[in-house]
Amino acid sequence: MRITDVLRGKGTEVATIAPSQTVRALIDALAEHKVGALVVSHDGRSVVGIVSERDVVRHLQKAGAGLLDQPVSSIMTSEVHTCAPDTKVDALMVLMTERRIRHVPVLTDGQMTGIVSIGDIVKHRIGDLEVERDHLTAYITG
């Protein structure tokens, strides 16, 4: 299985935010889109960084409420791990586990074409295992 199979099931929409937007706007966008992270992008297609709820909490603890008026660029992660649509799901699972990454943008020719979360990967993998189980059960009882 490849990441393109995961995207086929979940869709390719990616919620983004500009690096100049405030952390307050970020929190609103996270709630609006019901997601745990946003890709930071100037144009909605390129990846400048990624920022998550955890980033907000960790920086809020250090900086206090003044953080809410700071730009997203001040708390984003700028070294973003990405993958291609043809990346194998198992390989991405290993990367996400080893690097403790929860969200990975998917790039095609340098342009963002989707995003996958660890939850998306687990959901897809469970689906695969259920199909395999059903095939084995049918074979055994068949």
Spatial separation of the C-alpha atoms in residues 94 and 15, rounded to whole Å: 24
- Amino acid 126: pLDDT: 85
Look at residue 77 and give its three-state secondary structure. strand
Whether the pLDDT of residue 19 is over 90: the answer is: yes
Q: What is the pLDDT of residue 31?
A: 97
User: Average of pLDDT values for 78-100?
Assistant: 95
Check if the beta carbon of residue 77 is closer than 8 Å to that of residue 51: yes
Query: Could you give the C-alpha distances from 101 to 81, 97, 105, 121, in angstroms and in order?
Result: 8, 7, 11, 12
Average of pLDDT values for 51-65?
Answer: 94
Q: What's the confidence (pLDDT) of residue 63? A: 92
Whole-prediction pTM value?
0.87
CATH fold group of domain 3-141? CBS-domain (3.10.580)
Q: Break the chain into its structural domains and give their ranges.
A: 3-141
Mean predicted lDDT score pLDDT of the chain:
94
Interval 20-33: pLDDT, tens? 999 999 999 999 99
